[in-house]
Amino acid sequence: MTMNQPPIPATYTGADESLLVQRIYARKKEFGKKLLILAHHYQAEAVFQCADVAGDSLLLAREAAEATDAEWIVFCGVHFMAESADILTPDSKAVFLPHLDAGCPMADMATVEEVSAAWDEMGAFCAMETVIPVTYVNSSAAIKAFVGKHGGSVCTSSNAERVLAWALNKGEKMFFFPDEHLGRNSALALGVDPTQIILWKRGQVLGGNAKEDVEQARVILWDGYCEVHMEFDPVQIAAFREEFPEGKVIVHPESRYSAVSKADAYGSTEAIIKAVAESPEGSVWAVGTEVNLVKRLQLHHPGKTIKLLAPASCQCKFCKTMQLVTPAALLWLLDNLAEGRMVNQITVPEDIACDARLSLARMLET
């Protein structure tokens, strides 16, 4: 999602990174408890080190909801994360995104207009009160509101299987968006028959499915995906195993099932960090996720061999929009706040936030 980021002056973008970081810490000291900086694991190290709390989407959603002292919450992540923080916090707190163009291509693959149209198509022959919508947290506030209004829940990669189990127990069908792969991997892990899982292709009548297929399906998946995690495949896993027979492979559940099924383990960013941290010294790992997290694991575990699963030729190892949040953008935002200018504030309209809050609350309760 592009929101017309104001120009950041060259005095910031052309400055030495270490100096920018020093000035960020000075602002943090000045603001004290008034400021809370949250950072996702995919942020580059220069920004990541400035955070008060770092984590995956679930952990950061909880931190935003439970923040008590902070008046300003700065989310070093992407737009949907800042929206979720604004939805979960009272009006007395303001949420900011250092760069407004830091969106999520996956989230943009499922607009509320498209999902609503698909819902109405199904409604022509399905009992929609038995269809439970579930949206991955990587989605807009409007999508979360749609899900909340129709009795569904948000999920993250940490709790997807638990939320999907809740949805399948509550209804006869589950409509999952926007990430096809997280939905499929979670449904298969829960024992759903592959023949009862169908893909709803955007822009096609009934998502490209026959009426009978939609009627018999238990899980209907939207055809969205993560550009980074789509890069991992069984060929890379086989090549790693040939070079390191004793090594272990762990991938993120946004990866294709063909990769997940060949890996030794899969899990959210927090799960990946935990698996590597708890492995013995000398362990060898191939990690299929965003490269900044892999680099951080290498830095924190020098006694272990940790490799990015994708080959060097892969061009999509970074979450490109996440990288728009730089020390320059972060300091520019903090300096503006210090001078009383509330730039880059993320505000979700209350009519959307009200329903979105329902879907997020169901996730936090599940």
Mention every residue, 6+ apart, whose C-beta is less than 8 A from residue 310: 231, 232, 236, 288, 317
* Residue 361 in domain: no
Does residue 134 lie in a domain region?
Answer: yes
- pLDDT for residue 127: 92
Give the mean pLDDT of 216-233: 95
pLDDT tens string 80-104: 999 999 998 998 999 999 999 999 9
Same domain, 76 and 128: no
**153-155: strand order across its sheet:** 153-155, 131-136, 173-177, 219-222, 197-200
What band does 320 get if pLDDT is binned at 50, 70 and 90? Answer: confident
Quick check: is 3 in a domain?
no
**Mean of pLDDT over the chain:** 94
Residue 100 to residue 121: CA distance in whole angstroms: 34
Alpha-carbon distance of 347 to 329, in angstroms, equals 19
What is the predicted pLDDT for the residue at 219?
98
| 20-55 pLDDT, tens digit each | 999 999 999 999 999 999 999 999 999 999 999 998
Q: Are residues 111 and 221 in the same domain?
A: yes
- What share of the chain has pLDDT > 90, as a percent? 87
303 in the same domain as 257: yes
Residue 186 belongs to domain spanning:
107-225
**201, 285: one domain:** no
Q: How far is it, in rounded angstroms, from Cα 198 to Cα 255?
A: 17
- What integer is the mean pLDDT of 293-313? 89
Specify the DSSP class assigned to residue 5: P
Range 319-343 average pLDDT: 95
Question: Average of pLDDT values for 7-30?
Answer: 97
Instruction: Please say which residue of 210, 225, 240 terminates a domain.
Output: 225
pLDDT at 156 > cutoff 70? yes
Per-residue pLDDT, 365? 85
> At which of 193, 225, 257 does a domain end?
225
Q: Which is more confidently placed, 311 or 72? A: 72
**pLDDT classification of 366: cutoffs 50, 70, 90:** confident
Give the residue from 281, 308, 335 where a domain finishes.
Answer: 308
Does one domain contain both 133 and 181? Answer: yes
Distance CA 272, CA 158 (A): 10
Residue 33 CA: distances (Å) to CA of 148, 200, 329, 339: 32, 46, 21, 18
For residues 117 and 214, state if they share a domain.
Answer: yes
My answer on whether 206 and 126 are in the same domain is yes
The model's pLDDT over 122-147, given as tens digits with 9 standing for 90+, comes to 999 899 999 999 999 999 999 999 99
Structural domain total, the chain: 3
Residues 111 and 147 reside in one and the same domain: yes
Question: Per-residue pLDDT for 76 more than 70?
Answer: yes
Task: Look at residue 319 and tell me whether its pLDDT is greater than 90.
Answer: no
In this structure, are 215 and 115 located in the same domain?
Answer: yes
Do 218 and 260 fall within a single domain? no
Task: Give domain status of residue 313, yes or no.
Answer: no
In a domain, 154, yes or no: yes
Q: Is 51 domain-assigned? A: yes
Q: Can you give the length of the chain in residues?
A: 366
Q: Are residues 212 and 169 part of one domain? A: yes
**Given a cut of 60, is residue 205 above it in pLDDT?**
yes
Q: Which pLDDT score is estimated for 139?
A: 97
Question: In this structure, is residue 316 part of a structural domain?
Answer: no
CATH of the domain at 288: 3.40.50.10800
Instruction: Give a yes or no: residue 49 inside a domain.
Output: yes
Check if the beta carbon of residue 1 is closer than 8 Å to that of residue 79. yes
pLDDT at 315: 54
One domain for residues 46 and 97: yes
